[in-house]
Chain A
Amino acid sequence: IAGITQAPTSQILAAGRRMTLRCTQDMRHNAMYWYRQDLGLGLRLIHYSNTAGTTGKGEVPDGYSVSRANTDDFPLTLASAVPSQTSVYFCASSAQGDTGELFFGEGSRLTVL
């Protein structure tokens, strides 16, 4: 079944370590997004990409970086993890950047100790 694949599904990480969350889509969608979801705060946009080769900052980009070398992949990197980055991370894609129909992955639960 076509869709979005995120890895890992769950990870416990020591503070200060580097971590990359992987996201791959097979729908040939142009736009991709990374959100974090925290209790009481809802879904907040970290970074996005409207097309391969371009990226943009969302609401909470500090401490995170992304790259979009090709259409299918959109990895999210935490250069030096901190406990406040403990969250559930969702990757999503849409056919174009100007559509609101996003397809979400199943999420990656990250705990930073």
Chain B
Amino acid sequence: EDQVTQSPEALRLQEGESSSLNCSYTVSGLRGLFWYRQDPGKGPEFLFTLYSAGEEKEKERLKATLTKKESFLHITAPKPEDSATYLCAGAHSGNTPLVFGKGTRLSVIA
């Protein structure tokens, strides 16, 4: 059974305090690993796609990386506006829909 597990469930950071969120997956024949951001009361918003081990993607203070077993979302010098729930999702080959992790709720305190 395909599974995506995220840790920690919640993370509280001071503004400027860098950290990483983890996403481990057991998806056979992974065709991609995807990161989303969700603000309270809103739908998730797509951030990154990673296709192969060693790949990295960056956007502002966020950098996503992928190994053979897990992905990390690194947050460098976060700001309060980075506070959100970050979701990781995976899917195996073909037209199978995404399986989402439960998310990490990030709070950045000024």
Binding site for B on A (CB under 8 A): 4, 31, 33, 35, 40-45, 48, 50, 56, 58-59, 90, 92, 96-98, 100-107
Contacts and interface: CB of A to CB of B under 8 A. Distances in A.
Contacts of B101: 42
A33 to B, nearest CB: 6
Contacts of A58: 97
Nearest to B102: A42
A104 B31 contact: no
Contacts of A41: 102
Given A33-B97, A40-B102, A43-B87, A100 B43 contact: no
Contact of A104 (B34, B41, B43): B43
How many chain B residues sit at the interface, stated as a range, is 20 to 34
Contacts of B99: 45, 59
Contacts, number: 60
Given A97-B95, A100-B49, A101-B49, A90 B43 contact: yes
Interface of B: 31-34, 36, 41-46, 49, 87, 89, 91, 94-103
Given A40-B102, A42-B102, A42-B103, A101 B46 contact: yes
A40 B45 CA distance: 20
A102 B102 CA distance: 17
